[in-house]
Amino acid sequence: MLNRRDFLKGSAFGIAGITGAVALAGCASAPQGQQSAAQNPTDAGAEERTGLQATAEAAQNTEARKVSLVEFEADVAPKVTETKECDIVVLGSGAGGLGAAVKAAQLGAKVILLEKGSELGGSTNGTEGMFGWGSSLQHETDGVELPLVAELIQDELTYSNYRIDAALWNRFINASGKSVDWLRDLGYQFDRVDVYKGQISAFKCYHWWAEEKGSTMIAHLADVAAGLGVEIITQAPGVALMTEDGKVAGAYAHNVADDSYFAVKAKATIVGTGGFGLNNALIEQLTAWDMTYGTTRSPGTGDGVIMAEDVGAGTYMTSILPRTAVEGYTVYDEIAIGCCDNPLLFVNENGDRFMNEGTYVTSYMALYVNSIISQKHAYTLFDQAMIDRFMNGEGILSGWRKYKAGAQLPEFQSQLDECLSSKRGNVFKGDTVEDLAKAMGVDPANLKATVDRYNKLCTDGFDEDFLKGAEFLIPVQTGPFYAVRQDPSVTNTIGGLDVNYNNAVVDVNGEAIPGLYCVGVDACKLYKETYNYAMSGGLVGYCLYSGLNAAEHACEEALA
């Protein structure tokens, strides 16, 4: 079985859509408007198939299907014991899905919402706020000076090397404040509008949720939905799309509670299933990331993307909301905080230093991760003195969430030792730098030269090689010495299905598939490489915007 590491042997990662291994059916991102690997059969004439034709070929990526909950329509239809009917069926209850359900109900549609979990909200629950421009809250708040929409777009163009759809950004930004006002009109009270965490956000466009918790917004929308008559069914994931007369005519769902199946016949179907961060094979199909040692915090299994591919949907370049982590541990574990979130000495598989390790602190997380994955492997190198500092001395240099600069990591040594004893192959130790190099499989002379050079820069107090801040220049000289491999970690995927400006899903030729819409992260085409933290809250802001946008157009279709 070919894996991506074998395929890319000797080459650096591509960055054409940030996040990455497992067995793959396609080994590169599908170009915009073209078929993904799962839709690219080799038989003659297959490239002419569009719309609802086909798609046993879409199952070629068998590894992705194994992780998902998706079944084939032909297999699931005979299992159905009940059929419900409505105008709009929504799959998923994040900001996009729940927003779409409420908006459609406001417009007079009979709505059924299916959620695979026992609680509503998905990844939105873990957010802290949303981006919005031109909201009533901004106008009511002293000290908020709105930038021009053109300024916001220019910032994004510059950040992304002009590889974005500026027309889509214009539509989104101009509607984002209206999304905020829509929530306020429903009675939801934001905490405040400001920048996001000081230096991270460049504009006062961040609308903080009440208590800084997305769950408060989800709970409010759920109450509104119930009041509008939306039927919400939890523990009932959509597993296939229903097709009829050349269009999508609803969805099939699996009732997990009693292991039964039911169908929902609808005039329009809105998919908002929340990404595919748990589906390494699908990540590899749609990005350039190598997930051989990847980790994730995302609950998404790619159901919406695969279901839509099964009815002929086109896919779109995907990016990732990224971090790095230590394989076998979460991003909240002390070994990850110490080795991934602190500006220590980083070396690659050759033992060479390759970046300003302070990028994590001084710039955006996505740019930091870009630097890490530019190498085949990246290791954090440190000595016993740094371990002692982290555990019972001055503490860490920088941190994340509950870990602040100066916090101590009392379990850091024990987690290092545990990882070493497990022989997982991602933590190494040596009494000397040369011994460490041998354990890592790196040329000892080269690693020793790298460490000596770094220590000299620390003594000089100026990093003339990569301009890391002097406050982070701490020498590596007290054995034993350690190296910990940093691996990609997926917070969430961004994009996947190709949609038009109405959030209707389109086929590989760009034609709308009748009756099918996609909202939320799977439909987000704002980002090409990496998420721009300067406009923090843009992703969840888009999720809500897309839900409202899809609902309006779906209702035009369903209620005509």
pLDDT tens for the 560 residues of the chain, in order: 233 333 222 222 222 222 222 222 222 233 323 333 333 333 333 333 333 434 444 445 788 999 999 999 999 999 999 999 999 999 999 999 999 999 999 999 999 999 999 999 999 999 999 999 999 999 999 999 999 999 999 999 998 999 999 999 999 999 999 999 999 999 999 999 999 877 667 789 999 999 999 999 999 999 999 999 999 999 999 999 999 998 999 999 999 999 999 999 999 999 999 999 999 999 988 888 888 888 887 889 999 999 999 999 999 878 888 889 999 898 899 999 999 999 999 999 999 999 999 998 877 678 888 899 889 999 999 999 999 999 999 999 998 778 899 999 999 999 999 999 999 899 999 999 999 999 999 999 999 999 999 999 999 999 999 999 999 999 999 999 999 999 989 889 999 999 999 999 999 999 999 999 999 999 999 998 788 888 889 999 999 999 999 999 999 988 98
Q: How high is the pLDDT of residue 267?
A: 98
Q: How high is the pLDDT of residue 1?
A: 29
The answer to whether 253 and 235 have CB atoms below 8 angstroms apart is no
The answer to whether 37 and 317 have CB atoms below 8 angstroms apart is no
What single-letter amino acid sits at 95? A
**Number of Cα atoms under 13 Å in the Cβ half of residue 360:** 22
Question: Cα separations (Å) of 229 from 46, 103, 120?
Answer: 44, 12, 16
* Distance of alpha carbon 248 from alpha carbon 270, whole angstroms: 10
Partners of 90 in the β-ladder: 113, 270
* Distance of alpha carbon 292 from alpha carbon 358, whole angstroms: 26
Q: How high is the pLDDT of residue 90?
A: 98
* Distance of alpha carbon 547 from alpha carbon 503, whole angstroms: 8
**Number of Cα atoms under 13 Å in the Cβ half of residue 440:** 34
109, 79, 18: which is closest to 517 by C-alpha?
A: 109
Sign of CA dihedral 349, 353, 355, 356: positive
The answer to whether 209 and 137 have CB atoms below 8 angstroms apart is no
Q: Which domains does the chain possess?
A: 1-122+232-318+495-560 (3.50.50.60), 323-490 (3.90.700.10)
* Distance of alpha carbon 515 from alpha carbon 250, whole angstroms: 8
Q: Is 39 helix (H, G, I), strand (E, B) or coil?
A: helix
Q: How high is the pLDDT of residue 60?
A: 54
pTM, full prediction: 0.85
Q: How high is the pLDDT of residue 317?
A: 79
Sign of CA dihedral 476, 478, 479, 484: negative
* Distance of alpha carbon 249 from alpha carbon 242, whole angstroms: 5
Q: How high is the pLDDT of residue 199?
A: 63
Q: How high is the pLDDT of residue 367?
A: 85
Taking the CA atoms of residue 358, residue 363, residue 366 and residue 370 in that order, the dihedral angle to the nearest 10 degrees is -50
Q: Where are the beta strands (DSSP E) in 160-258?
A: 192-194, 206-208, 231-233, 238-244, 247-255
| List of residues 6+ apart from 145 with CB closer than 8 A | 204
What are φ and ψ of residue 169, in 5° steps? -60, -40
What are φ and ψ of residue 218, in 5° steps? -60, -45
Q: How high is the pLDDT of residue 207?
A: 97
Distance of CA 42 to the CA centre of its chain: 31
The answer to whether 280 and 22 have CB atoms below 8 angstroms apart is yes
Residues constituting the chain = 560
69, 91, 83: which is closest to 256 by C-alpha?
A: 69
Distance of CA 360 to the CA centre of its chain: 18
